[in-house]
Amino acid sequence: MKKTIFTLLIVLLPLVTFAQAKKPTLMVVPSDNWCVNNNFMDKFDNQGTTVDVPNYKRALQNSSDCNNVITKINTLMSDRSFPLKDLSAVTKSVETNAAMDAMTVRKSGDGLAESPLDALKRNANADIIIELNWQVNTTGPKKSITYSLAAKDSYTDKQIAGCQGTGTPSLSAELSVLLEEAVVANMDNFCSQLQAHFDDMMENGREVAMEVKVIDNGSGIDLTREYEGEELTDIIDNWVSDNSVNHRYNLSQGSENFLKFEQIRIALYQANGRPNDTRRWARELTKHLNSKYQVPCRVDIRGLGKAVVFIGEK
């Protein structure tokens, strides 16, 4: 009897561990293509360049279909135990913080440059953004839906999972029913791709980027200056190596006034168990430079996945 119970525990333990595995936090949004086709795009001045950005608030307010399909996908993901951020709630949070952000000014005198999409991602702080596109097809009295789901890492905007298809024509007039009938066959495989990406992040770290810029303010500091016999560039490079998971990063550009680090893998959690992110990680570099070498510096964030460290200004 004891042997049977022990055997059952051995068999069930991996299943329990799998069930308790941490899952990524998701947020479902209408795709850019759907927003373009339905006139829910706005113009945004990105440092002198005009770009089109989706207006999710207007889409939610003016399209009941948008609300219905997002709610349905949220339900399907929730049924599979994925934590979700609600797009409607996040857009309201962005508005609440917009006035304070507008009043924030850098010490160098420039206002914070942040696109509406970056603001949305920052407020949501979701691991993965799922872009949903759909189209209703009508054949006589029957309808079907053609859809696509593209999951993107919210820190890098790289696509990490996807599925698409067309459902079987149905007499049902409910858009949410048509969508569920269309996606259900591919949903488990799609979710497996999401989990595989998150498991990789848990093991190998989250990918982020960082730039280091010297501010020309007459301080005389540049990245070739030596501290304790070592150039500032090498000090920073060594710190990034020591504080990236398995020393995984790429220093792609460098000069006396500029460094560009890409494909940096940072741990999802700090040593004390607190969730880690790009700002917290880069802030540790500025504290290191300031306390050990008395180098004045500070960090700004561009979206979720990019930090800019300014040397020469605190």
What is the tens place of the pLDDT at every residue in 206-261? 999 999 999 876 577 899 999 999 999 999 999 999 999 999 999 999 899 999 99
- Cα dihedral sign, 229-233-239-241: negative
Mean pLDDT score of the chain: 87
Fold of 23-202: Rossmann fold (3.40.50)
Residue-wise pLDDT tens digits, 150-193: 999 999 999 999 999 999 898 877 888 899 989 998 999 999 99
Q: How far apart are CA 178 and CA 184, in angstroms?
A: 10
User: pTM of the prediction?
Assistant: 0.84
Rg (Cα) of the chain, in Å, rounded? 24
Residue 4 has pLDDT above 50, yes or no: no
- Does residue 88 contact residue 60 with C-beta atoms inside 8 Å? yes
Q: Facing residues of 64 across strands? A: none
Q: Where are the domains of the chain?
A: 23-202, 205-311
φ, ψ dihedrals at 102, nearest 5°: -65, -25
Q: Residue 47: what residue type? A: Q
